[in-house]
Amino acid sequence: MTAFDPRADLHSSALEAGFDAAAWVSAGVAARDTRVFEMWCDAALHAGMDYLPRSADRRRDVTTTFAPARSALVLLVSHNHAVPTKPSGGTRVGRVARYAWSRDYHAVLRPALEKLEVIAARLGIRAKGYVDHAPILERGFAARAGLGWRGRSSQIISTSLGALTSIAVLLCDAVPPVDAEHPDRCGRCTACVTACPTDAILTDRTLDSRRCIAYYTVEHRGAVPIALRTQFGDHLFGCDDCLEVCPWTTHAGRFSKLLEPDPELAFPDLEPWFTDSGHAFLRRYGDTAFARARRRGMARNAALVLGNLRDAAHLPLLAMGATDAGWEVREAVAWSLGRFQSDHFSHALEGLTCDPDERVMLTARLALEGAFFA
C-alpha cells in the first residue's frame, strides 16, 4: 500500500487546471542563481527596470515573500499558439510577441493559482501562488525542478514545450523534494544568438536589456535610442525572434490550454492608438499586455514600425501622430517621417521643428537634413 502524497495530488490538480507542465522543487534559492542575478544588476543590464535590483535581497530567500515556504510547485504555461487569421480593415502591420496574443496571462493564471491554493489547503498544505509579481528567481526554480534549462537566450527551454513559455510558482510548506536539475541541451547551437536583431544576447546566457527590443517596446518610457531603431524592424510589441528559432520550439507542436489567442491582439489595428485617449485605450486593452506600455508607448512603437516599413500608405497616420499629446510619440513620428523621400507630408515634419519639446525639435531637424533616410 503506497503512502498518501499530497504533493502528487497537487501536481495532478495543476495539470487539470490547465498548466502545461508542473514539477516540485525545494524552496531554497541556489547561490549560483543569486550570483548571476546580482552580477547582471551590478552591470546595469536591467536598463530602466530599477525595481529589479531593489528586490535583490528578497530574491535570496523566498520566505521573505511567503514565510512558511519549504517547497515550490513550478508551473509552465505555453504561448506556442497557432497563428490566428488576420482581421480585415484598419492598419494592421507589425509583429506582436505571442504571449500578448491573448488576455494578459497574469490575469488568466491568477484564478488558476487561487484554485490551486484552495486545493492545497484541503490537502493540508499552506500555499501561495505568484506569476511575475513577486521577487522570485523563477527560471532558477524551473531549472532545478527539471522543467527545462536556461538556454543561451537566457530563457527556460523545455524539451516538450520549447522556449515560448511563462513561469508561475506556487510556494508551499510541503516537505521539499530532492532537486532534479535538467541537463543543458543547447549543445553547440547558437540559433538564438544569431537571430537577435540587436545583439542583446550575451555570452554568459544573460540579456542586455539596454539593447533588447522586448524591453524597449514593453517596459521603457520615453524615446527609443535612435541607434537601435532600424534594427527593430516591424516589432510592434515584444520580440520572439530568439525563442521562435530555438529547435526545441520548432519541434514542440501546439500547446497552451489556458490561453486563447485573439486575432485583434495578434494583429492589432494601429489607428486607435493615435486617436484614442488614454482612458479609451485602457477600456479597450486594460486586460491585455498592451496596457503595460500604455497608449503612448504603443503609439510610439507603431510610429517606429511605420518608419521602418516605409510604406507611403501609412504617411497619413504618421501625420496624425505629429500632433499627439505624448512627446515620445511626436519624436518617433519625426524620425519616421524622415525615413520617407516624399514631400507630401513635409509640412508635418517642418511643424515638428518648432515643437515645444526640445527632443522632438532636434529629431525633426535631423530628419529634415536627411539623417535617417539611409
Where are the strands (E) in 227-343, listed by range?
235-237
Do residues 367 and 342 touch, judged by C-beta distance below 8 A?
A: no
Position 183, amino acid:
P
Where are the strands (E) in the chain, listed by range?
21-26, 71-78, 95-96, 127-130, 149-150, 156-157, 165-172, 235-237
End-to-end Cα separation, the chain, in angstroms: 74
Contacts of residue 211, defined as CB under 8 A and 6 or more positions apart, other chains included, come to 198, 199, 200, 228
Pair type for strands 71-78 and 95-96: unpaired
Q: What gap in Å lies between CA 369 and CA 282, rounded to an integer? A: 37
Q: What gap in Å lies between CA 331 and CA 327, rounded to an integer? A: 6
Active site residues: 132
User: The dihedral of CA 152, 156, 160, 165: what is its sign?
Assistant: negative
Pair type for strands 156-157 and 149-150: antiparallel
Do residues 338 and 319 touch, judged by C-beta distance below 8 A?
A: no
- The strand pairing partners of 73, in sequence order, are 24, 170
Tally the C-alpha atoms within 13 A of residue 252's C-alpha that lie toward its C-beta. Answer: 26
Do residues 174 and 71 touch, judged by C-beta distance below 8 A?
A: yes
Do residues 270 and 95 touch, judged by C-beta distance below 8 A?
A: no
